[in-house]
């Protein structure tokens, strides 16, 4: 092809024009064209990626290794994309499944960019390719960066991966001060699975730290069950339900309501949900921006206490509002489906008629009518659809 291509390229007046022409005739696997493009533009990620994939798929080993290394080299130099570029290298290396490239990718990640992200991605590659020594080396380097940092849970994650489970528990517990209960949940899980002799110790810490007043009821109850102190926990929860000052969005009380029901305190749970509803009424009147999601959160609380009628009222209002204010179709349909799931009332499907009418989707309305066993209505919608189509015909 060179004999045919060279005269054509010589007739063009600039390298930019030559490159544009080469790209216009390039197809994956055309090695001569690809190499000419890369000679002029070594960072052309599209050609590099296409050639790597083509060589891999057609078992052109030497070509594949060469192109894959160039992909990694190009991406590692791309400082603009930062962490995203490093993640690309990990994803590519794992997807290619080649031992030589895995070794090359790990070396490039940790030599060019010895950052936390680079070490994390290199460790992932090492784990995928069953290189335990390399994985341990990268994780230990990462751990040395994390030690003494502001967030002990980061070190906890690494210690867990290293199999140093008791130390990981300590780091997660250290992270619980003034923070969410997720770290304590990690500590409990590690203790259960790997250090059972510490389970009650960890549970005691959780029981003392996450009293109902903190808002983390789920972890409090879980710790009470481990410690066999559920009667004490029940009394504490009931007392708190009487005195709790409801000020937050309904979702913050979901675990609390579930815990009361779990202990058979259904009426206390209903009383709490009504407190939440009263707060929502105040919030609607006083907040400048009242989140539309909050009524959905309230419906979930009423579902927990089994008040189906109230859920129907909430979703009727939500769906009517969405249709009236022309919310996105998918959001309205999602609400209709959620209403059916929470109440078991399939008549909510009929709300779709209003939705489709407002959007002029008469064919969809006809299909729905047919599905719901309303043949006359289906015919009426089909007639509307046909009339609309006829009006568009010149």
Q: What percent of the chain has pLDDT over 70?
A: 95
Do 142 and 154 lie in one domain? The reply is no
Task: Give the confidence band of 365 by pLDDT, cuts at 50, 70, 90.
Answer: very high
Do 170 and 99 lie in one domain? The reply is no
Q: Which of 209, 226, 250 is the last residue of a domain?
A: 209
Cβ-based neighbours of 78, under 8 Å, separated by 6 or more: 85
CB atoms inside a 10 Å sphere around CB 212: 21
- Measured distance CA(319)–CA(354) in Å, rounded: 10
Task: Give the confidence band of 78 by pLDDT, cuts at 50, 70, 90.
Answer: confident
Q: Is residue 238 part of a domain?
A: no
The structural domain count of the chain equals 2
Do 94 and 155 lie in one domain? The reply is no
Q: pLDDT tens digits, residue range 100-138?
A: 999 999 999 888 656 888 899 999 999 999 999 999 999
Instruction: Report, as an integer, the average pLDDT of 380-389.
Output: 92
Do 68 and 111 lie in one domain? The reply is yes
Q: Is residue 22 part of a domain?
A: no
Q: Which of 116, 146, 176 is the last residue of a domain?
A: 146
Among 65-74, 151-160, 353-362, 374-383, name the one with the lowest average pLDDT: 151-160
pTM: 0.75
Question: Residue 19 has which token pair?
Answer: 């490159």
What pLDDT does 350 receive?
93
Q: What angle, rounded to 10 degrees, do the helices at 99-112 and 83-96 form?
A: 160
Do 192 and 139 lie in one domain? The reply is no
Do 132 and 190 lie in one domain? The reply is no
Its domain, for residue 204, covers 150-209
Q: Is residue 82 part of a domain?
A: yes
Task: Give the confidence band of 179 by pLDDT, cuts at 50, 70, 90.
Answer: low
Do 169 and 99 lie in one domain? The reply is no
């Amino acid at each position: 092809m060179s004999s045919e291509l060279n005269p054509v390229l010589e007739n063009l007046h600039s390298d930019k024009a030559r490159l544009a022409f080469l790209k216009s005739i390039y197809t994956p696997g055309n090695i001569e064209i690809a190499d000419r493009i890369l000679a002029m533009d070594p960072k052309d990620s599209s050609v590099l990626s296409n050639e790597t994939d083509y060589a891999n798929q057609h078992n052109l080993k030497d070509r594949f290794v060469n192109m894959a290394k160039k992909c990694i080299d190009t991406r590692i130099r791309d400082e603009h994309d930062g962490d995203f570029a490093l993640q690309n290298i990990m994803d590519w290396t794992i997807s290619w499944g080649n031992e030589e490239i895995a070794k090359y990718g790990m070396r490039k990640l940790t030599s060019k960019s010895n950052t936390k992200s680079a070490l994390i991605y290199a460790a992932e590659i090492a784990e995928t390719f069953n290189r335990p020594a390399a994985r341990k080396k990268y994780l230990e380097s990462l751990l040395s960066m994390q030690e003494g940092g502001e967030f002990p849970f980061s070190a906890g994650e690494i210690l867990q991966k290293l199999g140093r489970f008791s130390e990981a528990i300590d780091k997660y517990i250290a992270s619980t001060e003034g923070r969410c209960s997720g770290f304590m949940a990690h500590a409990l899980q590690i203790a259960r699975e790997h250090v059972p002799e510490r389970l009650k110790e960890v549970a005691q810490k959780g029981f003392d730290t996450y009293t109902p007043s903190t808002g983390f009821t789920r972890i409090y109850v879980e710790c009470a069950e481990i410690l066999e102190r559920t009667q004490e926990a029940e009394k504490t929860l009931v007392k708190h339900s009487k005195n709790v000052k409801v000020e937050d969005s309904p979702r913050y009380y979901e675990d609390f309501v579930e815990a009361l029901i779990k202990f058979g305190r259904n009426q206390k749970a209903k009383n709490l949900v009504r407190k939440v509803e009263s707060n929502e009424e105040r919030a609607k009147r006083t907040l400048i921006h009242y989140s539309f999601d909050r009524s959905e959160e309230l419906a979930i609380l009423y579902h927990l206490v089994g008040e189906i009628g109230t859920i129907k009222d909430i979703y009727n209002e939500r769906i009517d509002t969405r249709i009236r204010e022309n919310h996105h179709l998918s959001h309205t349909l999602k609400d209709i489906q959620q209403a059916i799931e929470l109440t078991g009332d399939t008549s909510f499907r009929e709300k779709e008629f209003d939705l489709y009418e407002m959007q002029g989707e008469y064919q969809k309305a006809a299909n729905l009518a047919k599905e719901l066993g309303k043949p006359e209505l289906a015919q009426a919608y089909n007639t509307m659809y046909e009339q609309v189509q006829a009006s568009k015909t010149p």
